[in-house]
Amino acid sequence: MTEMERMLSGRLYIAQGDEIAEAMSRSRRLQQRFNTADPLDMQTQMQALKELLGAIGEDSFINQTFRCDYGSNICIGRNCFFNYDCIIIDVCPVTIGDSVLFGPRVCVYTAAHPIDAEIRGAHLEYGRPVTLGSDVWVGGNAVINPGVTIGDDVVIGAGSVVTKDIPSHVIAVGNPCRVLRPITEADRKYWSDLRGEYRRDMGL
């Protein structure tokens, strides 16, 4: 196996060799194009993102600036919005569903290093994939760690550090992030009523 193949499969690898270097150089050039584009030139920004990422769905957008390792290991669904200064370290696949919102400075990490200092000092590292379902809102400055899966219809509180899987239909907060409570029908009714009030006020 090549170092790249080992990386993507979650085995120990060393981040060196032509394949990895070329992939990272490509990613950095495309990030530079995206991050330095005119902030009102959506066409140039979206073209850079489409070349950079493994997939980005219709009506999804990332605010400048954005950083990643490779980009090609990131797949984003439809109708997603990532706010300023998002970082995704994608040495393994990062799969994100539809209608996902990231607050500013959200970080998603798939990369990890051995606990043993001698092995770590030999530049060996590894990764674990991260998966987010649909209808997830991740608050600003949250960190999602390697190997985590977050279900559908989840709110992750600002500043949370997610170290373990989070089930669907909950609010989860803290460091380490834990389930605070389920999202209930009372929540849905409250926000539905406020939307109705908004529509009435706006004559919709």
Residues recognised as catalytic? 113
Main-chain dihedrals φ then ψ at residue 98, nearest 5 degrees = -90, 155
Instruction: Determine the Cα–Cα distance for residues 90 and 20; give it in Å rounded to an integer.
Output: 12
Q: Is 8 helix (H, G, I), strand (E, B) or coil?
A: helix
Query: 107 pairs with which residues across the strands?
Result: 87, 143
Please, what's the b/e burial string for 25-46 (b: 16 or more CB within 10 A of its CB; e: otherwise)? eebbebbebbeebeeeeeeebb
Amino acid at 15: A
88: tokens are 């995704």
Of 49, 42, 43, 51, the closest CA to residue 66 belongs to 49
End-to-end CA distance of the chain: 59
